[in-house]
Structure 1
Amino acid sequence: MADTALKPEGPIKRAIRNAGWLLAGKGTGGVFSLFYLALTARSLGAEEFGIFALILSYGQAVTNLAQFQSWQTVVRYGAQHEAAERPDKLLRIIVFATLLDFGAAAAGTLLAIGGVYLIGGEFGWTEGDKNLAALFCLSLLFGVRGAPTGVLRLFDRFDIAAYAETVLPTMRLLGALAAWASGASIAGYLAAWAAAEVVTTAAMWWASLREIRRKFREPVAGSPIRGVIGENEGLWAFAWTTNINTSLNLVWKQFPVLVVGWAVDAVAAGGFRIATQLVGALNKPTIALARAIYPEFAKLAVVDKSLIQRTVVRACLIGAAAGGVVLIIVLLAGKGVLELIAGEDHLFVFPILIILTVAAMFDLSGVAIEPALVALGRPGTVLRVRGITSILYAVALMWAVDVYGSLGAAVTTVGASILLLALMLGAFRKYGAR
């Protein structure tokens, strides 16, 4: 009995525990998102909500394009230095990731503002809409919280990260309520979203700095940044590869909304945004598991790579089961929820919602494969797979939307999800056992 009581947690159990903390934040966000989505869609109306959705998707797309996923760098290299008890090297990785965040934010600001005035007209934006989009992008790009997120996940403080992440949906909900009560226009709702980003970033930095002070109670000798490249093999390649991987994710999330807005109209783009957000809210438990399991893979890659394969299989089975549950929920209750949240004007989205849920099932079935490959030092493999799939998806998407509208975008998304899962699975079978 004593042995059983003292038996350490396995990676799946620990990941589920940490996913529970993430879900406490993300789950709260999912519930709150339904409320502020309903307030925004109903108060703005179909046409103005479509413009709002296009600006939001554009801003988030540029954010994904510009920002490095520095939290993955902190976790992967930080896990090695923590295991080797080298606090000096660990601190240098954290400083490196922080500088990476702020450098990307500065470059992204210029990219965002230039893009608004170059292509904004393609979405039917007026000069006023363009100015709003530029200001909104500026606020998003100052929401640099990659490094603090990595610190909290590396130090296994998913509980604190969960509390900090509840700030974002809470502030969005409060902002949406204020905008709704005052009868605000698109600008009011964009201001609420922007303020939520800035406040959330401040909360994440405050929480991570407190953990850093606790971890490094004694002064750490040496320069806080000098030598970081030499003592972390493949650091730049890893940072750039994970950044490009994340940039390709925008093809899956924001690009379809933008293409629908470009090829059809703002109302269709707003409807597609609602469908993707509803599917995203239902998928939050499994997405939380994927984020929680990456630090476990990073640690297993240091001490016992053989456990990764078994952990991946178990996590993917959990993801597949969750995807099936989500599809059943959407089939039974999706239309009623859609009408309750977005009103009758957006009931045309229901077939799209079902199709996107099918795509999500395939995405969730491979939930652990990508983080496992990255933890095993194969971000280049992930990049190649995502690159091939994203190029094919983008080409097929533009053709399908032009011919079949929003429905074409949804069906193309299913095909891309199936292809991505097949290629990721093939890559893991090739490299996972090595």
Structure 2
Amino acid sequence: MSPKRHRHESSTPLGRILQNTAWLLGGKGFGAVCGIGYLAILTRTLGLKDFGHFSLIFGTAQALIAIAGFQTWRVVVRYGSEHVHNHDWSKFGRLGMLCGVLDALGAVMGCGLAAILIYGFAHMLDLNPLYMNTAFWFCCASLWALVSAPTGIVRALHRFDMAVYVEAVVPTGRLIAALVIWLTGPTVGRFLLAWAAIDLLEALLYWIMARRLAPAAVNLRNFLQWRQALAENPGIGRFFMVTYVGSTLDAAVKNGPLLVVGAWVGTKAAGLYRLASQLSQALTKLSSLLTRSVYAEVARARVSSQAGEFRKLALQTSKIAGLGGVVVVAVAILLGKELLALIGGDAFERGEAILVPLTLAACFDFASVAFEPVLHSTGRAQASLVARLISVVALVLGLVFFIPIGPSGAAWAVALAGAVSYLAMGAMAWHTLRLIDRDEIRVIDAEPEPDEPGSTVE
């Protein structure tokens, strides 16, 4: 039985990217409205100090996810696209189940790290001791809710329309929960408990959806045979490690500064930084949505398109993303202060100095939306990792020089890291596209090394 398809797809790669992004944007547009609502309730009911505690706990969970979450959806899309193209659902299923096992191992490892971090170093973040147990269990729930494998299955099947319905559960649930908590007595613990429960529900629904879309792939038989995926997908171990390290470094750039602000400046500053970060992410939401669509479509183009079409697709998406980034930065400069005051109240107006550089950093990510998929799909994932390493070095240097300024200094350090990452990865992607034009490399899977007949995951 093949995966279910109930919608008409565009005949061109760019058309499919825009079509998939439109589906995601429709769901995220609804989610953004809900998000502004529950964020306003959070900030206004908790106040700057308690919102700072909430932000530090949430940020710690995100940092742990970055370390223990293996981003297996990229592996499923990268290698699974060929299996889907060939209608080999058994191989596709074994690949998905392998990634599901890796998700579970990551969650177990993350829970151990959470115990060490929360109970051993919470004082460094100025975290209220009363919240330590709550913070630990929230981190554990967040780790188990990160089901990357079924997300990859859905994206490899290009069923972004179905993902919209599941992902709407989180913003809807959070808004309803925030309203109930607001009326019954707001506390940091209640908000965290509600957020954790809703995330776990979304994870369960994602697996159910993956099973309904691809019953021939997502089943017990393929789960028991997950080890075969290591031999069926040459180079998967190397690709997994490279993308894992790369995503961890990327997350360090995005989440690390919040923890630095909490430790260096204080809890209130962390709350201010968090709200500005949330708003900058909302303004650049299209970036993450376009990234999902582009990554999946570039992986498809790798196995089904000519080199010229592949290159054209990368250039078109980069131009669209660059134009969108310019618009978003302009909005942040002109309306940032008013938006912060509208959501959080007068106490959060000072976040304008943080919002602009964070939005600028997010827009560098936006403009580079096609770079990493190009490098991954042409067997050059190591190049993207090098670019991530360079950006982390830039972030550390920026924090050293700018953190004395305060939270806005941390934000400018993030902007510096974003600019460096854009330039480095852009240069590597452009060089790769030129090699494709000269037929020096082909848009196919990289051949395994002679001494690596079937990579294994350590």
Normalised by the length of structure 2, the TM-score is: 0.89
Note if contact 2:14-2:313 (Cα within 8 Å) is conserved in structure 1: yes
- For residue 92 of structure 2, the aligned residue among 74, 84, 90 is 90
Deviation at 1:71, TM superposition (A): 1.0
Distance 1:95 1:219, change over 3 A: closer
CA distance in 2, matches of 1:218, 1:118: 41
Residue 155 (structure 1) aligned with residue 150 (structure 2): no
| Deviation by residue 1:295-339 (Cα, 9 ceiling, x = unmatched) | 111111113333222111111111111111112222332222111
CA distance in 2, matches of 1:221, 1:189: 38
CA distance in 2, matches of 1:221, 1:42: 49
- 1:366 partner amino acid: S
Residue 421 (structure 1) aligned with residue 422 (structure 2): yes
Distance 1:424 1:221, change over 3 A: closer
CA distance in 1, matches of 2:366, 2:218: 40
CA distance in 1, matches of 2:224, 2:133: 42
Distance 1:277 1:223, change over 3 A: closer
Distance 1:104 1:217, change over 3 A: closer
Which position in structure 1 is the counterpart of 2:363?
361
Which position in structure 1 is the counterpart of 2:444?
none
Distance 1:305 1:407, change over 3 A: same
Distance 1:96 1:192, change over 3 A: same
- 1:429 partner amino acid: W
- Structure 2 counterpart SS, 1:260: helix
- 1:255 partner amino acid: G
Which position in structure 1 is the counterpart of 2:127?
125
Deviation at 1:340, TM superposition (A): 1.0
Deviation at 1:58, TM superposition (A): 0.6
- 1:290 partner amino acid: T
CA distance in 2, matches of 1:218, 1:308: 34
Note if contact 1:294-1:371 (Cα within 8 Å) is conserved in structure 2: yes
Deviation at 1:221, TM superposition (A): 9.1
Which position in structure 1 is the counterpart of 2:260?
259
Which position in structure 2 is the counterpart of 1:184?
186
Distance 1:217 1:182, change over 3 A: closer
Residue 211 (structure 1) aligned with residue 203 (structure 2): no
Pairing of 1:76-115 with structure 2 (within 5 A): 76-115=78-117
Deviation at 1:359, TM superposition (A): 2.3
Deviation at 1:396, TM superposition (A): 2.5
Residue 378 (structure 1) aligned with residue 387 (structure 2): no
Note if contact 1:256-1:409 (Cα within 8 Å) is conserved in structure 2: yes
Distance 1:222 1:63, change over 3 A: closer
Distance 1:92 1:305, change over 3 A: farther
The size of the alignment, in residue pairs, is: 427
Which position in structure 1 is the counterpart of 2:285?
284
CA distance in 1, matches of 2:341, 2:307: 48
Distance 1:7 1:358, change over 3 A: closer
- Structure 2 counterpart SS, 1:254: helix
Deviation at 1:48, TM superposition (A): 0.8
Deviation at 1:84, TM superposition (A): 2.8
- 2:12 partner amino acid: G
Note if contact 1:327-1:357 (Cα within 8 Å) is conserved in structure 2: yes
- For residue 330 of structure 1, the aligned residue among 332, 343, 356 is 332
Note if contact 2:52-2:270 (Cα within 8 Å) is conserved in structure 1: yes
Distance 1:48 1:381, change over 3 A: same
- 1:298 partner amino acid: A
CA distance in 1, matches of 2:63, 2:315: 31
Deviation at 1:102, TM superposition (A): 0.8
Which position in structure 2 is the counterpart of 1:66?
68
Pairing of 1:267-278 with structure 2 (within 5 A): 267-278=268-279
CA distance in 1, matches of 2:164, 2:66: 21
Note if contact 1:136-1:194 (Cα within 8 Å) is conserved in structure 2: yes
Note if contact 2:76-2:149 (Cα within 8 Å) is conserved in structure 1: yes
CA distance in 1, matches of 2:339, 2:222: 57
Note if contact 1:139-1:194 (Cα within 8 Å) is conserved in structure 2: yes
- For residue 196 of structure 2, the aligned residue among 184, 194, 197 is 194
Note if contact 1:88-1:220 (Cα within 8 Å) is conserved in structure 2: no
| Deviation by residue 1:184-233 (Cα, 9 ceiling, x = unmatched) | 211011111111111111111111111121x5599989963242212211
Deviation at 1:93, TM superposition (A): 0.5
CA root-mean-square deviation: 2.1
Consecutive unaligned residues of structure 1, counting only runs of 5 or more, are 1-5
Distance 1:398 1:57, change over 3 A: farther
CA distance in 2, matches of 1:356, 1:385: 19
- 1:35 partner amino acid: G
| Deviation by residue 1:46-101 (Cα, 9 ceiling, x = unmatched) | 11111111111011110121011111111111111222332221121111111111
CA distance in 1, matches of 2:386, 2:135: 32
CA distance in 2, matches of 1:109, 1:217: 26
Deviation at 1:390, TM superposition (A): 0.9
CA distance in 1, matches of 2:172, 2:223: 41
CA distance in 2, matches of 1:181, 1:55: 23
Distance 1:332 1:78, change over 3 A: same
CA distance in 2, matches of 1:223, 1:119: 39
CA distance in 2, matches of 1:413, 1:293: 24
Distance 1:221 1:120, change over 3 A: closer
Which position in structure 1 is the counterpart of 2:344?
342
- 2:275 partner amino acid: I
Note if contact 1:88-1:222 (Cα within 8 Å) is conserved in structure 2: no
Moved more, 158-167 or 24-33: 24-33
- 2:242 partner amino acid: T
Note if contact 2:283-2:359 (Cα within 8 Å) is conserved in structure 1: no
Which position in structure 2 is the counterpart of 1:3?
none
CA distance in 2, matches of 1:41, 1:220: 48
- 1:288 partner amino acid: L
CA distance in 2, matches of 1:223, 1:414: 45
- 1:254 partner amino acid: N
